[in-house]
Structure 1
Amino acid sequence: MKKSCLAILVCLGLASCSAADGKGLENGHLRPCPASPNCISSEAPEGDAPPFVVQGEDGWERLRLAIVSLGGSIEGEETGYLHATFRSRIFGFVDDLECRQDGDVVQVRSASRVGWWDMGANRRRVEKLRKALSATPPTEG
Protein backbone atom coordinates (compact mmCIF):
# COMPACT_ATOMS: atom_id res chain seq x y z
CA MET A 1 0.00 0.00 0.00
CA LYS A 2 2.78 2.44 0.93
CA LYS A 3 4.67 1.73 -2.29
CA SER A 4 1.61 2.34 -4.48
CA CYS A 5 0.87 5.62 -2.67
CA LEU A 6 4.48 6.68 -3.14
CA ALA A 7 4.32 5.80 -6.84
CA ILE A 8 1.15 7.86 -7.26
CA LEU A 9 2.74 10.85 -5.52
CA VAL A 10 5.83 10.62 -7.73
CA CYS A 11 3.67 10.47 -10.87
CA LEU A 12 1.62 13.45 -9.75
CA GLY A 13 4.79 15.37 -8.96
CA LEU A 14 6.22 14.68 -12.39
CA ALA A 15 2.93 15.59 -14.03
CA SER A 16 2.88 18.92 -12.23
CA CYS A 17 6.12 20.06 -13.90
CA SER A 18 4.97 22.22 -16.77
CA ALA A 19 6.91 21.90 -20.01
CA ALA A 20 4.86 24.10 -22.32
CA ASP A 21 5.07 27.82 -21.71
CA GLY A 22 3.07 28.96 -24.69
CA LYS A 23 2.43 28.36 -28.32
CA GLY A 24 3.25 30.12 -31.52
CA LEU A 25 6.31 31.23 -33.39
CA GLU A 26 9.39 32.97 -32.00
CA ASN A 27 11.21 35.10 -34.55
CA GLY A 28 9.49 33.19 -37.36
CA HIS A 29 10.47 29.74 -36.05
CA LEU A 30 8.94 27.13 -33.75
CA ARG A 31 9.89 27.60 -30.12
CA PRO A 32 12.85 25.52 -28.93
CA CYS A 33 12.16 22.41 -26.90
CA PRO A 34 12.84 22.51 -23.16
CA ALA A 35 15.71 20.50 -21.67
CA SER A 36 13.28 17.76 -20.58
CA PRO A 37 12.80 14.70 -22.83
CA ASN A 38 9.12 15.34 -23.61
CA CYS A 39 9.43 17.33 -26.82
CA ILE A 40 10.59 16.77 -30.39
CA SER A 41 11.28 19.42 -32.99
CA SER A 42 12.52 19.42 -36.56
CA GLU A 43 14.09 22.82 -35.87
CA ALA A 44 16.19 21.58 -32.94
CA PRO A 45 19.93 22.15 -33.41
CA GLU A 46 20.52 18.47 -32.64
CA GLY A 47 18.16 17.46 -35.45
CA ASP A 48 15.48 15.68 -33.38
CA ALA A 49 13.53 14.77 -36.52
CA PRO A 50 13.52 15.82 -40.15
CA PRO A 51 10.75 18.16 -41.31
CA PHE A 52 7.76 16.76 -43.21
CA VAL A 53 7.86 16.81 -46.98
CA VAL A 54 4.40 17.98 -48.01
CA GLN A 55 4.03 18.39 -51.74
CA GLY A 56 1.24 19.62 -53.96
CA GLU A 57 -1.30 22.37 -53.61
CA ASP A 58 -3.33 20.25 -51.20
CA GLY A 59 -0.33 19.36 -49.00
CA TRP A 60 -1.37 21.56 -46.08
CA GLU A 61 -4.91 20.16 -46.18
CA ARG A 62 -3.54 16.61 -46.21
CA LEU A 63 -1.49 17.52 -43.13
CA ARG A 64 -4.64 18.81 -41.40
CA LEU A 65 -6.55 15.62 -42.28
CA ALA A 66 -3.69 13.41 -41.07
CA ILE A 67 -3.62 15.25 -37.72
CA VAL A 68 -7.37 14.81 -37.24
CA SER A 69 -7.26 11.16 -38.35
CA LEU A 70 -4.69 10.45 -35.62
CA GLY A 71 -6.93 11.97 -32.95
CA GLY A 72 -5.71 15.55 -32.97
CA SER A 73 -7.85 18.63 -32.67
CA ILE A 74 -6.93 21.73 -34.70
CA GLU A 75 -6.91 24.57 -32.16
CA GLY A 76 -5.64 27.42 -34.30
CA GLU A 77 -4.34 28.18 -37.74
CA GLU A 78 -2.78 31.13 -39.52
CA THR A 79 -1.13 31.33 -42.91
CA GLY A 80 1.70 28.79 -42.79
CA TYR A 81 1.20 27.90 -39.09
CA LEU A 82 -1.01 25.32 -37.38
CA HIS A 83 -1.53 24.42 -33.72
CA ALA A 84 -3.22 21.15 -32.73
CA THR A 85 -3.66 19.26 -29.48
CA PHE A 86 -3.72 15.57 -28.63
CA ARG A 87 -5.06 14.05 -25.39
CA SER A 88 -3.72 10.88 -23.79
CA ARG A 89 -6.36 8.18 -23.41
CA ILE A 90 -5.95 7.30 -19.75
CA PHE A 91 -5.10 10.51 -17.89
CA GLY A 92 -6.15 13.07 -20.48
CA PHE A 93 -2.76 14.82 -20.58
CA VAL A 94 -2.56 17.35 -23.41
CA ASP A 95 0.28 17.50 -25.93
CA ASP A 96 0.72 20.40 -28.35
CA LEU A 97 1.64 19.86 -32.00
CA GLU A 98 2.78 22.86 -34.01
CA CYS A 99 3.59 22.99 -37.72
CA ARG A 100 5.24 25.77 -39.70
CA GLN A 101 5.39 25.89 -43.47
CA ASP A 102 8.97 26.41 -44.58
CA GLY A 103 9.16 26.44 -48.37
CA ASP A 104 8.65 22.88 -49.62
CA VAL A 105 8.76 21.35 -46.14
CA VAL A 106 6.81 21.67 -42.90
CA GLN A 107 8.73 22.14 -39.68
CA VAL A 108 7.11 20.29 -36.77
CA ARG A 109 7.22 20.49 -32.96
CA SER A 110 5.34 18.15 -30.62
CA ALA A 111 5.56 18.65 -26.84
CA SER A 112 3.88 17.54 -23.64
CA ARG A 113 2.33 20.31 -21.58
CA VAL A 114 3.05 18.59 -18.28
CA GLY A 115 5.53 16.11 -16.94
CA TRP A 116 9.20 15.64 -17.50
CA TRP A 117 9.28 12.53 -19.72
CA ASP A 118 6.67 11.46 -22.27
CA MET A 119 7.92 7.87 -22.81
CA GLY A 120 8.46 8.69 -26.49
CA ALA A 121 4.84 9.64 -27.19
CA ASN A 122 5.65 12.83 -29.12
CA ARG A 123 8.30 11.13 -31.28
CA ARG A 124 5.84 8.32 -32.11
CA ARG A 125 3.16 10.88 -33.00
CA VAL A 126 5.48 12.77 -35.36
CA GLU A 127 6.52 9.52 -37.06
CA LYS A 128 2.87 8.41 -37.42
CA LEU A 129 2.11 11.75 -39.06
CA ARG A 130 5.10 11.34 -41.37
CA LYS A 131 3.87 7.87 -42.35
CA ALA A 132 0.30 9.11 -42.89
CA LEU A 133 1.54 11.94 -45.11
CA SER A 134 3.73 9.65 -47.19
CA ALA A 135 0.79 7.22 -47.65
CA THR A 136 -1.45 9.90 -49.16
CA PRO A 137 0.01 11.07 -52.47
CA PRO A 138 -0.97 14.52 -53.73
CA THR A 139 -4.02 14.54 -55.97
CA GLU A 140 -3.64 15.62 -59.55
CA GLY A 141 -5.68 18.61 -60.64
Structure 2
Amino acid sequence: MKKAALLSIAMLGLTACSQGVQTMTDRTASPCGDKPNCVSTQDNREKYQLSPFVITSNTSIDSIEAAALQISGAKTAVKEDNYLRIECTSKIMRFVDDLELRIEGDRLLVRSESRVGYSDFGVNRKRAEQLRELLKAEKLIQ
Protein backbone atom coordinates (compact mmCIF):
# COMPACT_ATOMS: atom_id res chain seq x y z
CA MET A 1 0.00 0.00 0.00
CA LYS A 2 2.86 2.39 0.82
CA LYS A 3 4.47 1.76 -2.57
CA ALA A 4 1.24 2.63 -4.38
CA ALA A 5 0.88 5.85 -2.39
CA LEU A 6 4.49 6.86 -3.08
CA LEU A 7 4.09 6.10 -6.77
CA SER A 8 0.91 8.20 -6.92
CA ILE A 9 2.59 11.14 -5.21
CA ALA A 10 5.59 10.89 -7.54
CA MET A 11 3.38 10.82 -10.64
CA LEU A 12 1.36 13.81 -9.43
CA GLY A 13 4.58 15.69 -8.81
CA LEU A 14 5.89 14.92 -12.28
CA THR A 15 2.72 15.99 -14.03
CA ALA A 16 2.27 19.08 -11.89
CA CYS A 17 5.65 20.47 -12.89
CA SER A 18 4.71 20.29 -16.56
CA GLN A 19 1.56 22.38 -16.14
CA GLY A 20 0.84 26.07 -16.23
CA VAL A 21 3.77 27.72 -17.99
CA GLN A 22 2.93 31.38 -17.70
CA THR A 23 5.72 32.84 -19.83
CA MET A 24 7.44 31.24 -22.76
CA THR A 25 9.30 32.94 -25.56
CA ASP A 26 8.05 32.48 -29.12
CA ARG A 27 10.10 29.60 -30.56
CA THR A 28 8.33 29.26 -33.93
CA ALA A 29 11.40 30.45 -35.87
CA SER A 30 13.77 28.17 -33.93
CA PRO A 31 14.80 24.70 -35.01
CA CYS A 32 14.24 21.83 -32.60
CA GLY A 33 16.89 20.68 -30.14
CA ASP A 34 18.47 17.23 -30.35
CA LYS A 35 15.77 15.26 -28.51
CA PRO A 36 13.24 13.41 -30.72
CA ASN A 37 10.24 15.16 -29.15
CA CYS A 38 9.83 18.12 -31.50
CA VAL A 39 8.89 18.95 -35.10
CA SER A 40 9.07 22.29 -36.88
CA THR A 41 8.57 23.89 -40.28
CA GLN A 42 11.79 25.80 -39.55
CA ASP A 43 14.03 22.76 -39.05
CA ASN A 44 15.99 21.36 -42.01
CA ARG A 45 16.85 18.01 -40.41
CA GLU A 46 14.66 15.22 -41.79
CA LYS A 47 13.49 13.73 -38.48
CA TYR A 48 12.41 17.15 -37.15
CA GLN A 49 11.21 18.80 -40.35
CA LEU A 50 7.61 19.56 -41.29
CA SER A 51 6.58 20.45 -44.83
CA PRO A 52 5.59 24.12 -45.20
CA PHE A 53 2.06 25.27 -44.38
CA VAL A 54 1.11 27.75 -47.14
CA ILE A 55 -1.87 29.80 -46.04
CA THR A 56 -4.70 31.14 -48.19
CA SER A 57 -5.70 34.79 -48.40
CA ASN A 58 -8.66 34.42 -46.01
CA THR A 59 -6.59 32.91 -43.18
CA SER A 60 -6.38 34.72 -39.84
CA ILE A 61 -4.96 33.79 -36.46
CA ASP A 62 -8.57 33.46 -35.25
CA SER A 63 -9.45 30.91 -37.94
CA ILE A 64 -6.25 28.96 -37.24
CA GLU A 65 -7.06 28.96 -33.52
CA ALA A 66 -10.57 27.61 -34.19
CA ALA A 67 -9.11 24.73 -36.21
CA ALA A 68 -6.32 23.99 -33.70
CA LEU A 69 -8.75 23.82 -30.79
CA GLN A 70 -10.39 20.80 -32.45
CA ILE A 71 -7.29 18.76 -31.51
CA SER A 72 -7.83 16.58 -28.45
CA GLY A 73 -6.68 18.20 -25.21
CA ALA A 74 -5.99 21.58 -26.86
CA LYS A 75 -6.49 24.93 -25.15
CA THR A 76 -5.26 28.40 -25.98
CA ALA A 77 -2.40 29.57 -23.74
CA VAL A 78 -1.24 32.70 -25.62
CA LYS A 79 -2.74 34.62 -28.50
CA GLU A 80 -1.22 37.89 -29.64
CA ASP A 81 -1.03 39.50 -33.08
CA ASN A 82 -0.05 36.69 -35.49
CA TYR A 83 1.22 34.28 -32.79
CA LEU A 84 -0.63 31.48 -31.06
CA ARG A 85 0.52 28.95 -28.45
CA ILE A 86 -1.79 26.02 -27.85
CA GLU A 87 -1.19 23.68 -24.92
CA CYS A 88 -2.10 20.08 -25.71
CA THR A 89 -2.57 17.88 -22.64
CA SER A 90 -2.50 14.09 -22.92
CA LYS A 91 -5.49 12.25 -21.48
CA ILE A 92 -3.88 9.74 -19.15
CA MET A 93 -0.55 11.11 -17.91
CA ARG A 94 -1.56 14.79 -18.34
CA PHE A 95 1.72 15.65 -20.14
CA VAL A 96 1.64 19.04 -21.85
CA ASP A 97 3.05 19.72 -25.32
CA ASP A 98 3.28 23.17 -26.87
CA LEU A 99 1.94 23.77 -30.36
CA GLU A 100 3.26 27.15 -31.49
CA LEU A 101 1.92 28.86 -34.60
CA ARG A 102 2.89 32.14 -36.27
CA ILE A 103 1.67 33.69 -39.51
CA GLU A 104 4.58 35.11 -41.53
CA GLY A 105 3.64 36.35 -44.96
CA ASP A 106 2.00 33.47 -46.84
CA ARG A 107 3.38 30.84 -44.43
CA LEU A 108 2.27 29.42 -41.14
CA LEU A 109 5.27 28.57 -38.97
CA VAL A 110 4.46 25.46 -36.95
CA ARG A 111 6.41 24.03 -34.02
CA SER A 112 5.16 21.26 -31.73
CA GLU A 113 7.30 20.10 -28.82
CA SER A 114 6.97 18.08 -25.63
CA ARG A 115 7.84 19.89 -22.42
CA VAL A 116 9.18 16.85 -20.61
CA GLY A 117 10.81 13.59 -21.58
CA TYR A 118 13.20 12.50 -24.27
CA SER A 119 11.03 10.90 -26.95
CA ASP A 120 7.43 11.68 -27.81
CA PHE A 121 6.87 8.47 -29.82
CA GLY A 122 5.78 10.55 -32.81
CA VAL A 123 2.96 12.39 -31.02
CA ASN A 124 4.05 15.88 -32.06
CA ARG A 125 4.38 14.93 -35.75
CA LYS A 126 0.92 13.33 -35.66
CA ARG A 127 -0.49 16.48 -34.03
CA ALA A 128 1.09 18.75 -36.65
CA GLU A 129 -0.25 16.59 -39.48
CA GLN A 130 -3.69 16.53 -37.83
CA LEU A 131 -3.54 20.34 -37.75
CA ARG A 132 -2.59 20.33 -41.45
CA GLU A 133 -5.68 18.24 -42.27
CA LEU A 134 -7.95 20.45 -40.17
CA LEU A 135 -6.60 23.60 -41.86
CA LYS A 136 -6.99 22.03 -45.32
CA ALA A 137 -10.57 21.03 -44.55
CA GLU A 138 -11.34 24.65 -43.64
CA LYS A 139 -9.47 25.84 -46.77
CA LEU A 140 -7.08 27.85 -44.63
CA ILE A 141 -3.96 26.32 -46.22
CA GLN A 142 -3.21 25.05 -49.72
Query: TM-score, normalized by length of structure 2?
Result: 0.74
Per-residue deviation at 1:58? 3.8
| Structure 1 residue runs of 4 or more that deviate by more than 2 Å after TM superposition | 22-26, 29-32, 56-62
Q: 1:84-129: CA deviations, max 9, x gaps?
A: 1001111000000101111111010000000000000000000000
Q: Which consecutive residues of structure 1, in runs of 5 or more, have no partner in the other structure?
A: 1-7
Of 80, 95, 98, the residue aligned with 2:97 is: 95
Per-residue deviation at 1:31? 2.9
Q: How many residues align?
A: 122
1:39-54 paired onto structure 2 within 5 Å: 39-46=38-45, 48-54=49-55
Tell me the equivalent position of 1:62: 63
- Distance in 2, matches of 1:36 and 1:89, equals 23
Does the Cα contact within 8 Å between 1:30 and 1:98 map onto a contact in 2? Answer: no
1:1-141 paired onto structure 2 within 5 Å: 23-25=24-26, 30-46=29-45, 48-71=49-72, 72-137=74-139
Write the letter of the residue equivalent to 2:64.
L
Write the letter of the residue equivalent to 2:109.
Q
Identity of aligned residues (%): 35
Write the letter of the residue equivalent to 1:39.
C
SS of the aligned residue for 1:30 comes to coil
Query: TM-score, normalized by length of structure 1?
Result: 0.75
Over the aligned positions, Cα root-mean-square deviation in angstroms equals 2.6
Q: 1:25-58: CA deviations, max 9, x gaps?
A: 36xx533311000000100122600232221334
Write the letter of the residue equivalent to 2:26.
L
Write the letter of the residue equivalent to 2:81.
T
Q: Which consecutive residues of structure 2, in runs of 5 or more, have no partner in the other structure?
A: 1-6
